[in-house]
Amino acid sequence: MIHIHRILSAVALCALAACISNDWGHRPQNADPDTRLADLVEDYEHAKTSDGVDPDHILVDAERYKNEIERLALEFPRHVPTLMACAVLAMDHGDFVKCQRYCDRVLSVEPVHPDAAVLRSQCAIRDGNLPASLRLLEQQKSYTPDHAGVREALSATLYLMRSLEAAAQELTAAEQLGAPAWRVAYNRGLIAEAKGDRTGAMAAYEASVAANPDFAPARSRLAGRKAEGGVQ
């Protein structure tokens, strides 16, 4: 479950970039929320990635910009990109209750929002509420059946519910819709392991590592399965 959570986190964080596609130039404070959000997210990202700066100072700056984005959501309570940015930042800071609330607000304003649904499903999984995650993702799938992220998240939920054949089918659909090969291979390995197919799992983990050598969970599981089988 931990590894699935990390995979969904990677999917959910993509929502931030999708929401803020405006120009980055600084504008007056009374500018539209899209521009103000873009500026604040740029400042937040810069604060978190600044080199040669005291780490405590970076954390203070990042928290300040996060708070500014949340204040923007108060000023524009139905501005979906700002609400979504708040949800992603809440997840990034480990505040899953706040993340859930922001996702619910996004979906109340814009019921067809696959990225919010994926992130909201992750919160439900963390609460152990797999049926809620399943209901939400099935609903979004009916709205946007071509969304790879929804299919991946649905596969993850089905995997956790031990509906392995259905999970494999959704993962195949996600792959056809453009989900990253390394992530698909890793999830395929998890499903194979759950079925007791060690050979298939190892092949899938090897494919994941080949596609993304930096993905530590795949390397770890591959090394573990090789050790169990006496493979060097």
pLDDT at residue 12, rounded to an integer: 31
All structural domains of the chain with their residue ranges = 2-173, 180-232
Fold of 2-173: 1.25.40
**Cα angle: 19, vertex 23, 28; to 5 degrees:** 105
Question: What pLDDT does residue 29 have?
Answer: 53
Q: How far is CA 70 from CA 77, 90, 219, in A?
A: 10, 10, 38
The reported pTM is 0.81
Task: Give average pLDDT by consecutive 10-residue segment, the chain, 232 residues.
Answer: 32 37 44 86 81 56 88 95 92 92 97 95 95 97 97 97 98 97 97 95 97 96 86 52
Report pLDDT for 61: 75
The predicted pLDDT at position 56 comes to: 54
Instruction: Find the length of the chain.
Output: 232
pLDDT of residue 1: 30
* pLDDT of the residue at 43: 86
Quick one: pLDDT at residue 218? Answer: 96
Tell me how far CA of residue 214 lies from CA of 12, 60, 140, 146, 182, in angstroms. 19, 29, 31, 28, 10
